[in-house]
Amino acid sequence: MSETIPSASEASLDAGAKASVLIEALPYLRRYAGRTFVVKYGGHAMGDTAAASFAQDVVLLKAVGINPVVVHGGGPQIGAMLGRLGVESRFVDGLRVTDEATVEIAEMVLSGAINKQIVAAIHAAGGRALGISGKDAGLVRARKVSRETRTPDYQSDSAIEQIVDLGFVGEPETVDPNVITMATASGLIPVIAPIGAGENGETFNINADTMAGAIAGAMGAARLLLLTDVAGVLDGDGKLVTELDEAKIEALRSEGVITGGMIPKLETCLAATRDGCEAAVILDGRVPHAMLLEFFTASGAGTLVRAAENG
Ligand SMILES: Nc1ncnc2c1ncn2[C@@H]1O[C@H](COP(=O)(O)OP(=O)(O)O)[C@@H](O)[C@H]1O
Ligand SMILES: CC(=O)N[C@@H](CCC(=O)OP(=O)(O)O)C(=O)O
């Protein structure tokens, strides 16, 4: 039994290592105290253990004086429910084509199930969360989105452009962050489902990255964090790209290296940094305590995106 008890020198090394981790965190704690971090928690990064570690990180950020604002996704979970109900679904450039039945199910899954699971996980980690959607207190007014697609026309060697009607897919038109600042000032952690109301009260399904970016931009957040299921943006050889700006993103996109859900993710990062968010980071939400490693260590993690003019 005695072998399992660490010797005095091992114990002090362990304590020393812990102390140096905290000391390494000190400049970041000072830099970010009182600032807003918008954290987008993607559906692919949600598992039971991941949810518990995510919630602990969020509660820790709040405890050290940072204001975390959680915006969550739930794409795979919406897909599973649509499958159970026999409703077919398809994506155009990472956006789900959303008819009337789909928007009803999306709201049910996002605002009803996932939002409350995250609130419960934060409570279990010792925090207090307020679960809302973009509809609440006029947080996000949405407008309809449409997309142009280009299909190669092999006969004329050019491309055919088509406007695709995505149905009830929206994008934030206005953001009124009042409800967020009120919640934050009362010690609550806002947890936001990516659903918004149109000007006539219709419900819009909003890509969660886009929603998080609009909120981060409107609030002038110190960071927008997009937690997903890859290490960050990967180049053509599958290697992690640690920093990106608009020109580099355009180059990777035209090479066909950035596809699917990564397209709205990077568009969001750029839009948020143009609107006033200092920087955005795409990182692997499956790694335990990914957020803490990103914020409180010198090495960081994932891909950092800044608008070119910010350097
Ligand atoms: N260049 C790229 N680097 C990394 N991931 C990419 C890239 N291009 C496309 N992707 C895809 O984007 C996915 C992340 O977007 P998405 O599935 O929408 O995640 P989430 O549900 O977390 O928002 C990755 O799992 C990957 O399949
Ligand atoms: C318009 C649109 O595509 N909305 C998304 C909303 C959820 C989401 O974005 O979830 P993830 O972040 O987990 O992908 C959807 O219906 O899947």
Give per-residue pLDDT as tens, 54-82. Answer: 999 999 999 999 999 999 999 999 999 99
Q: In what order do the strands lie in the sheet containing 129-133?
A: 129-133, 189-193, 67-72, 36-41, 223-228, 279-284, 303-305, 243-244
Q: Quick one: which ligand is closest to 169's CA?
A: 2
pLDDT at 5 over 60: no
* Model confidence at 116: pLDDT above 90: yes
- pLDDT by residue (tens digit) across 158-183? 566 678 899 999 999 999 999 999 99
What are the φ/ψ torsions at residue 147 (nearest 5 degrees)?
Answer: -125, 140
Pocket lining: 74 vs ligand 1, CB cutoff 6 Å:
no
Shortest-distance atom of ligand 2 to CA 194: 6
pLDDT at 2: 43
* Fold observed for domain 35-310: Carbamate kinase (3.40.1160)
Output 21 or 201, whichever has higher pLDDT. Answer: 201
Task: Decide whether any atom of ligand 1 lies within 6 Å of the 261 Cβ.
Answer: yes
**ipTM (interface pTM):** 0.95
Entry pTM:
0.89
| Helical pair 115-124 and 48-63, crossing angle rounded to 10 deg | 60
Give the SS3 label for residue 46. coil
Residue 36, beta-bridge partner list: 67
- Average pLDDT of the chain, as a whole number: 89
Going by DSSP bridges, is the β-strand pair 189-193/67-72 parallel, antiparallel, or unpaired?
A: parallel
- Residue 237's Cβ-side half-sphere holds a number of Cα atoms within 13 Å equal to 3
Residue 178 CB neighbour total at 10 angstroms:
11
